[in-house]
Amino acid sequence: MIKKRNRIVKKICSFAMIGAIVTSMAIPSLAAPREISKTYSGSFTSDWQKTYEDTMYYTKLTYGYNTSWINEDYAWAQGSFMTKDYNHNAYVRNDNGAHYGNSVDYRFVSKIEVRHKGSTITYKNQFNAK
């Protein structure tokens, strides 16, 4: 009788552990969205553009260097339905300092375009709870 009870207890504990593991795997998707941050050190002699998409939250950061009007560093940040509880903003850090785009809701694109200065530039899509 005791052996049978011990086996039942072991089975219950095993199922509880499996449930805890499965639940813990789902929790990251409920966490705050991840900031997207990209740093570029390279050529700033001609136009270039890169895009990074976060496949967990379906957010996007488009960033680059433009010579059309002035030499500028730029970042365009997009949210998604997965980030509807958060505002987001574009960010550029160069040798002129840190620059922030407007904080907007997930349906809009936050943009920041600033005069280029420096050889290493950081671009971000940042998230803040509403």
Mean pLDDT of the chain: 87
Q: Is the pLDDT of residue 127 over 90?
A: yes
Q: Is the pLDDT of residue 28 over 60?
A: no
Q: Are 61 and 76 in contact (CB under 8 A)?
A: yes
Q: Are 107 and 83 in contact (CB under 8 A)?
A: no
pTM: 0.76
Torsion of CA 49, 55, 57, 60, to 10 degrees: 10
Q: pLDDT tens digit string along 59-115?
A: 999 999 999 989 999 999 999 999 999 999 999 999 999 999 999 999 999 999 999
Q: Is the pLDDT of residue 130 over 80?
A: yes
Kind and range of the H or E element at 124?
strand 120-129
